[in-house]
A = this chain, B = another copy of it.
């Protein structure tokens, strides 16, 4: 018994946008007690991830590390027609992933105290990002 919602988030360039509340609200509406919530972003240059929701410096530091893992404008890149940040964005998406799956118990997301769900925009410009949430009981 699956239920599904699609929603859109407008990003303001590189950085994270917390979407825990959006996901939690849909899960509450689903009215199922035990299951999973699968969240998926339909793009190849932004990620979904779970990380610490308390100190925003964690996400600043992840951005610093991501710049090492997949630098912008690297001379080795062959895919560079769409901007200095484009190939870096694809590589960061590969590393951080395009979906997260969270267990549901007692009708709520079973996230730990410090876990938040974030959309991580990897492009430097603003984008509209389509997210699909599927809840399975």
Contacts and interface: CB of A to CB of B under 8 A. Distances in A.
Contact of A78 (B35, B49, B60, B97): B60
A39 to B, nearest CB: 9
B36 A44 contact: no
Interface of A: 2-4, 34-36, 38, 40-44, 49-52, 55, 57-58, 60-62, 64-65, 69-70, 76-79, 81, 87, 90-91, 93-105, 110-112, 114-115, 130, 132, 134, 136-137
A128 to B, nearest CB: 12
23 contacts: A2-B34, A3-B34, A36-B136, A38-B103, A40-B110, A42-B111, A44-B51, A44-B112, A49-B94, A51-B90, A55-B81, A57-B77, A57-B78, A58-B87, A61-B77, A64-B76, A69-B69, A94-B95, A98-B100, A98-B115, A104-B134, A105-B132, A110-B132
A94 B55 CA distance: 16
A115 B40 CA distance: 12
Given A61-B87, A70-B65, A79-B55, A2 B35 contact: yes
